Amino acid sequence: MLSDIEIANAATLRPITDVARETLGIEPEHLVPYGHHKAKVDLGYLATLEDRPLGKLVLMTAISPTPAGEGKTTTTVGLTDALHGLGHRAVACLREPSMGPVFGMKGGAAGGGYAQVVPMSDINLAFTGDFNAIAAANNLLAALIDNHVHQGNALDIDVRTVTWKRVVDLNDRALRDITVGLGGVANGFPRQDGFDIVVASELMAIFCLTESWADLKKRIGDIVIGYNRSKQPVTARELDAAGAMTVLLRDALAPNLVQTLEGAPAFVHGGPFANIAHGCSSVVATRSALRLADIVVTEAGFGADLGAEKFVDIKCRKSGLRPDAAVVVATVRALKYHGGVAVADLGEEDVAAVERGMENLRRHLRNIREVFGVPVVVAVNRFPADTESEMEKVVDLCAEEGVQAFAATHFADGGDGAISLAKGVLSVLDEPSPHEFGFTYDDDLPLAEKVATVARRLYDAEGVSWDAKAERRLARIEAEGYGHLPVCIAKTQYSFSTDPALRGAPSGHTLHVREVRLSAGAGFVVVICGDVMTMPGLPKVPASSRIDLLEDGTIVGLS
Amino acid sequence: MLSDIEIANAATLRPITDVARETLGIEPEHLVPYGHHKAKVDLGYLATLEDRPLGKLVLMTAISPTPAGEGKTTTTVGLTDALHGLGHRAVACLREPSMGPVFGMKGGAAGGGYAQVVPMSDINLAFTGDFNAIAAANNLLAALIDNHVHQGNALDIDVRTVTWKRVVDLNDRALRDITVGLGGVANGFPRQDGFDIVVASELMAIFCLTESWADLKKRIGDIVIGYNRSKQPVTARELDAAGAMTVLLRDALAPNLVQTLEGAPAFVHGGPFANIAHGCSSVVATRSALRLADIVVTEAGFGADLGAEKFVDIKCRKSGLRPDAAVVVATVRALKYHGGVAVADLGEEDVAAVERGMENLRRHLRNIREVFGVPVVVAVNRFPADTESEMEKVVDLCAEEGVQAFAATHFADGGDGAISLAKGVLSVLDEPSPHEFGFTYDDDLPLAEKVATVARRLYDAEGVSWDAKAERRLARIEAEGYGHLPVCIAKTQYSFSTDPALRGAPSGHTLHVREVRLSAGAGFVVVICGDVMTMPGLPKVPASSRIDLLEDGTIVGLS
């Protein structure tokens, strides 16, 4: 089989104006073109659609993944292509890729195989400039903070408490922990600082949760950058930063429209981390898509314990959006992994291990149906090594849970490989839901109780323990009036527990909270359990070393 | 009079596809649109024009400026509008603005008054993403350097000698002098480092001097990032960085087309500093413009002793381009300033001071005509406080030199205010040149002799003195085989000498060289005389505090 970029480079793309008109009924004058195959949809036009009925919203989530990933993005694209092929007005809503992994190890994030969004290299490299706009606005605020201190510090900012970091959209470990302002009086006051990758920034989360320019400016103003010497929060508003930062994000807020390899429309917009942020593409894109299409397929990061939880408890809570169905992506590989098989042996048939590993998937299904109240189907994303017996076992085990499961081969076959999955999703959408949608916890629970509720209801943890410092920080955040916010739990994606080695469906464990951070502009409190990497590093042989430009302008080596 | 952004926001822009077709004969399929009023011109299309005859090239340069600037950009736009109005196929080639001054103090750089390129706010803010692409490529190389050292340092890079800095397109003094790689083993090896503003990067200079993707990749590969422990240069090529960096710059290399307020075409592409780099917009844009138009007006940074010198000795030498005429922008203010008037008193009529200050302009005219061999006219950019007697004096004094001078009021009047200037330029272009084009020095002179020649011929300096370290560095660069490169002299723009307080036309002074840097990819040796700021800071009240987004999406407060 060809590589992702070979497939993408060989594709004949249609003008995005044609795709927009024919698939979503958007006339060219409502598009802001970026070249011939990417466009932003004008926000003024989208505002005129507010009276249209909403389409159905399908959430793509997953089993607790193996390190290789189980294929949520490809399944989102494949399902959308299948629905498109069946004549439905369907659209995918995806996150924008970060350039960090593109040049590092993991590669791009525009799908893969025959389930990709295109133009693949554009989408993976700077795209329409959204991440650069976010980085510029983020770094302008950082510069304004240090400048404010340098110029007299009228707000009496305590530089030891500044938590607002600078960002760059690359993997660059040397920037994790730095000292700035060295070199004498002209260069400001020295302080410890660091860079995060842009997708880990609070501004990225804000961007993805906001509804409008006015709301964006309000949220940016609410950002707490640190504290003054009287221990009061200092906001971006007090630094007169919100207006200019919003101006920098003005054009970026319009959602980006591209096409799949099969000509279905896709919004690719925003891309926050799924650990210290909520891991979903933008509310603007989802909401716009729901006004334009009958079925919207959107993915949330990591496994369902993290991604679906944050989709429901953060994105849906704040936006009023509601999923009509969820698809859980599972693989035979992941099931065997949770059934105890070593990574090196995952290519060997092991039906018993699949059966053992089902306990992981079973808990995700329970959470989605019983906690979130969302109807669910399983997509078994088929890999070449998977055997018939293994595939059948997954389908049978799901049936025992009363859940339909469908083998999907979209990676190799495009939309045709996801036709039965699509029909399954349609059948669920047609039926009245047996469940009532609900959040994991209510707004008015104390923050610690919110964490405890998620740990108990979703992770089957026995309890929560707190580092003393984290507990104090939580109390202070509550005292400052942020207790009504939802929590955003950052933990490993590989286990329901905080121990990535604890596969399957562990019970009775303790969720240990190491650190708490306030994201006042995004509107959530980050609860960090375990190590969280907000600035990745490059591997020994970075992917960038294989990427090249041929003399005719062809890009090679992207993955 | 309205502010720049009020004028720009009130303008009715034509679709850039119409401007391209009607003014330059470019069909829409050869454009890569960025919205409806900005486009890149496809490089493949431009390559098909190589057999077309070249238009005439007019270089816009200036008297040694006052701190307020004398209006080269507005005069470039005004002259282009006037030529356009007179029915000529004229195009302006301008530098892209950096966001640093936009949010700092100086404001944007898209012209001013009724001599602007539009869409003004787009051009001043990220535009088509070129600077972000340059920053990403620059910072990828920086990350690859630190990663290489972290992963075993097979090239034996001496981290103390790494000169490749990271960049950001903001004014951020706290990043001038930093320590990176702190925090322990996982974060790499600590070293002293710093950020420059993106326009000060060697990569920006490379971008503006390159001819094609292949040439770009070659030049990037040639970049010397520092030295190994055996004191041999280490290049970006050895770090396997050139391919991925070129990929990041692939789309950016196509020139950006916009329009003036009067509908004339303008290429706005690239924008290197005029001190440590050569200060001109891209060769790709100039060359393309010359194939598409009859007259191309392009500006070079600072006064003619720096900007025109680098345009000739670096840009023309490397590209083969030749200016057919030069326009020197002078103002009554600047002449009085060089005549010894204090900045606070420049608003008062003082014809005698104008006469005294003429010695500055006279030397620039001599240099352009006698050293570069380029025919010249003077544009007297009129300010409201200038009196008739002062204006007449300038015209008369220039006439004594055998140079035509024209009052220009394009800032207030648009192209109509530059009609007589345009006619003067046309008359010069129509006549055979009495001079022969020449460089200030030959390639094969030793580097120190090149510097001495510029100092003697253009600055009327008595000699050159060298810091011992700079002298050693120069010898080493020469020994490494870079002696054939031109020199790029970084000195104050306010004087022919290195003392900004020495106005007029000082003679007999000594050019003191403090530092020498190799820009092997750009292809010049930077010779630093005096302080050079490569990362500006923000003022006490940054311009960003006045910039805001209204609810309808209107940007206000840009200047």
Provide the whole-model pTM. Answer: 0.97
- Delimit the CATH 3.40.50.300 region(s) of chain A: 4-129+252-430
Query: Under an 8 A CB cutoff, do A177 and B169 touch?
Result: no
Task: Return the SS3 of B21.
Answer: helix
Which residues of chain B lie closer than 8 angstroms to A547, CB-CB? 243-244, 247
Q: How far apart are CA B400 and CA B126, in angstroms?
A: 46
pLDDT score of B433: 85
The shortest CB-CB distance from B243 to any of A244, A538, A547 is to A547
Query: Under an 8 A CB cutoff, do B172 and A126 touch?
Result: no
pLDDT score of B536: 96
Q: What letters, b where the CB count within 10 A reaches 16 and e where it falls short, cover A261-289? A: bbbbbbbbbbbbbbbbbbbbbbbbbbbbb
Task: Return the SS3 of A419.
Answer: helix
Q: How far apart are CA B204 and CA A89, in angstroms?
A: 45
Query: Under an 8 A CB cutoff, do A150 and B174 touch?
Result: yes
Over residues A404-423, the mean pLDDT reads 98
Which residues of chain B lie closer than 8 angstroms to A558, CB-CB? 247
pLDDT score of B107: 78
Phi, psi of B438 (to 5 degrees): -155, 155
CB B303 within 8 A of CB B66: no
Which residues of chain A lie closer than 8 angstroms to B553, CB-CB? 43-44, 213, 250
pLDDT score of A433: 85
Query: Under an 8 A CB cutoff, do A144 and B538 touch?
Result: yes
Take residue B321 and report the two structure tokens written for it.
Answer: 């381009």
pLDDT score of A107: 78
pLDDT score of B530: 86
| Separation in Å, CA of B46 to nearest CA in chain A | 14
Architecture of domain A447-528: Roll (3.10)
- Delimit the CATH 3.30.1510.10 region(s) of chain B: 130-248
Of A358, A423, A417, the C-alpha closest to A383 is A417
Over residues A382-390, the mean pLDDT reads 96
Which H helix or E strand runs over A307? helix A307-310
* Percentage of the residues of chain A whose pLDDT score is greater than 90: 97
Closest chain B residue to the Cα of A183, Cα to Cα: B177
Mean pLDDT of successive 10-residue stretches along chain B, which has 559 residues: 92 97 97 97 97 97 93 97 98 97 88 96 96 98 98 98 98 98 96 97 98 97 98 98 98 98 98 94 98 98 96 97 98 97 95 98 98 98 96 98 98 98 97 92 98 98 97 97 97 96 97 97 96 94 96 92
**C-alpha angle B95/B98/B99, rounded to 5°?**
150
| Separation in Å, CA of B170 to nearest CA in chain A | 7
Residues in chain B: 559
The topology (CATH level 3) of B4-129+252-430 is Rossmann fold (3.40.50)
Over residues A185-191, the mean pLDDT reads 96
Which residues of chain B lie closer than 8 angstroms to A187, CB-CB? 173-174, 176-177
Give chain A's mean pLDDT. 97
Query: Under an 8 A CB cutoff, do B177 and A182 touch?
Result: yes
| Separation in Å, CA of A496 to nearest CA in chain B | 27
Query: Under an 8 A CB cutoff, do B144 and A246 touch?
Result: no
Q: SS3 breakdown of chain A: % helix, strand, coil, rounded to 5?
A: 40, 20, 40
The shortest CB-CB distance from B553 to any of A188, A213, A553 is to A213
Strands (DSSP E) found in B388-523 = 405-408, 463-466, 487-490, 510-513, 515-519
Q: How far apart are CA B533 and CA B540, in angstroms?
A: 18
Query: Under an 8 A CB cutoff, do B136 and A169 touch?
Result: yes
- Delimit the CATH 3.10.410.10 region(s) of chain A: 447-528
The shortest CB-CB distance from A178 to any of B35, B180, B248 is to B180
- Top residue of B180, B534, B540, B559 to mutate, by most chain A CBs within 10 Å, is B180
Q: Provide the CB-side half-sphere exposure for A137 (13 A, CA).
A: 34
At A48-57, the pLDDT tens digits run: 999 999 999 9
For B130-248, CATH number? 3.30.1510.10
Of B249, B263, B267, B172, the C-alpha closest to B212 is B249
Q: Does the pLDDT at position A106 exceed 80?
A: no
pLDDT score of A394: 98
Q: How many DSSP H helices and E strands does chain B contain?
A: 20, 25
pLDDT score of A46: 98
Q: Does the pLDDT at position A19 exceed 90?
A: yes
Q: Provide the CB-side half-sphere exposure for B360 (13 A, CA).
A: 35
pLDDT score of B212: 96
- Top residue of B45, B173, B531 to mutate, by most chain A CBs within 10 Å, is B173
SS (H, E, C) A371-412: HCCCCEEEEEECCCCCCHHHHHHHHHHHHHCCCCEEEECHHH
pLDDT score of B106: 78
Q: Does the pLDDT at position A357 exceed 90?
A: yes
Q: Is position A401 annotated in a ligand binding site?
A: no
Query: Under an 8 A CB cutoff, do A547 and B170 touch?
Result: no
Query: Under an 8 A CB cutoff, do B32 and A32 touch?
Result: no
C-alpha dist (Å) from residue A236 to A187, A493, B337, B504 = 22, 32, 42, 46
